A and B are shown apart, each in its own frame.
Chain A
Amino acid sequence: MFYREAGDFKTSYAADSQTFPIAFDRWRYYFVIAAGFGLLPFIINDYWSNAILLPFLIYAIAAIGLNILVGYCGQVSLGTGGFMAVGAYTSYKLMTAFPWLDMVSITILSGVMTAIVGVAFGLPSLRIKGFYLAVATLAAQFFLIWLFNRVPWFFNYSASGQISAPERSLFGQAVTGPAADPSAKYLFCLVFAFALAWLARNLTRGSVGRQWMAIRDMDIAAEIIGVNPLRAKLSAFAVSSFYVGIAGALFFTVYLGAAEPGTAFGIQKSFLVLFMVIIGGLGSIFGSFAGAAFMVLLPVLLTNVLTGAFGWDSALARHFEFVIVGGLIMFFLIVEPHGLARLWALAKEKLRLWPFPH
Chain B
Amino acid sequence: MLDQTVTADGRTIGGVVMEMRNITLRFGGVIAIKDISFDVREGEIRAIIGPNGAGKSSMLNVMSGFYHPQEGEVWFRGEKRRPMRPYQIARQGIARTFQNIALFDGMSVLDNIMTGRLNHMKSNFLEQAIWWGKAEREEVANRAKAEEVIDFLEIQSIRKTPVGRLPYGLKKRVELARALVAEPKILLLDEPMAGMNVEEKEDMCRFILDVNDEFGTTIVLIEHDMGVVMDLSDRVVVMDYGKKIGDGVPDEVRANQEVIDAYLGVSHD
Chain A residues close to B by CB (< 8 Å): 12-14, 17, 199, 202-203, 205-208, 210-211, 213-214, 216-218, 220-229, 235, 283
**Residue of A206, A210, A283 ringed by the most chain B CB atoms within 10 A:** A206
How many Å from the CB of B100 to the closest CB on chain A?
Answer: 11
Please, how many angstroms separate the alpha-carbon atoms of A205 and B35 in the complex? 46
Tell me which residues from 97 to 142 in chain B have a Cβ below 8 Å from any Cβ of chain A.
98, 102-107, 111, 114-119, 121, 123, 125, 128-131, 135-136, 139-140
Q: List 21 A-B contacts (CB under 8 A).
A: A13-B139, A13-B143, A13-B147, A17-B143, A206-B121, A207-B114, A207-B128, A208-B125, A210-B115, A213-B106, A214-B115, A220-B66, A220-B102, A221-B102, A221-B103, A222-B115, A223-B85, A224-B65, A226-B90, A226-B119, A235-B125
Q: Which residues of B contact A213 (CB under 8 A)?
A: 104, 106-107, 111, 115
Please, how many angstroms separate the alpha-carbon atoms of A217 and B147 in the complex? 23
Q: Which residues of A contact B228 (CB under 8 A)?
A: none
Given contacts A17-B139, A226-B90, A226-B118, contact A221 B98 (CB under 8 A): yes
How many Å from the CB of A273 to the closest CB on chain B?
Answer: 21
Q: Is B87 an interface residue (CB 8 A)?
A: yes
Chain B residues close to A by CB (< 8 Å): 64-66, 85-87, 90-91, 95-96, 98, 102-107, 111, 114-119, 121, 123, 125, 128-131, 135-136, 139-140, 143-144, 147, 178, 182
Given contacts A206-B135, A235-B125, contact A226 B107 (CB under 8 A): no
Please, how many angstroms separate the alpha-carbon atoms of A202 and B139 in the complex? 12
The SS class assigned to the A binding surface is helix
Nearest residue (CB) in B for A203 is: B129
Please, how many angstroms separate the alpha-carbon atoms of A12 and B137 in the complex? 12
**Residue of B85, B106, B119, B143 ringed by the most chain A CB atoms within 10 A:** B106
Q: Which residues of B contact A205 (CB under 8 A)?
A: 131
Q: Which residues of A contact B111 (CB under 8 A)?
A: 210, 213
Which among A203, A227, A283 is the interface contact of B118 at CB below 8 angstroms?
Answer: A227
Given contacts A14-B136, A203-B128, A226-B90, contact A217 B143 (CB under 8 A): no
Please, how many angstroms separate the alpha-carbon atoms of A254 and B131 in the complex? 30
Q: Which residues of A contact B118 (CB under 8 A)?
A: 207, 210-211, 225-227
Q: Which residues of B contact A217 (CB under 8 A)?
A: 103-107
Q: A202 and B87: CB pair below 8 A?
A: no
Please, how many angstroms separate the alpha-carbon atoms of A228 and B147 in the complex? 25
Q: A224 and B114: CB pair below 8 A?
A: no
Q: B140 and A12: CB pair below 8 A?
A: yes
Q: B106 and A216: CB pair below 8 A?
A: yes
Nearest residue (CB) in A for B119 is: A226
Q: Which residues of B contact A225 (CB under 8 A)?
A: 87, 90, 95, 115-116, 118, 178, 182
How many Å from the CB of A268 to the closest CB on chain B?
Answer: 29
Given contacts A13-B144, A206-B128, A206-B135, contact A221 B87 (CB under 8 A): no
The 7 closest A-B pairs by CB, nearest first: A226-B90, A221-B102, A217-B104, A202-B131, A13-B143, A206-B128, A207-B121
Q: A229 and B87: CB pair below 8 A?
A: yes
Q: A224 and B121: CB pair below 8 A?
A: no
Q: B129 and A202: CB pair below 8 A?
A: yes
- Extra A-B contacts (11), CB below 8 Å, given A202-B130, A207-B128: A12-B140, A199-B129, A210-B115, A213-B104, A213-B115, A217-B103, A220-B102, A221-B104, A222-B115, A225-B90, A226-B118
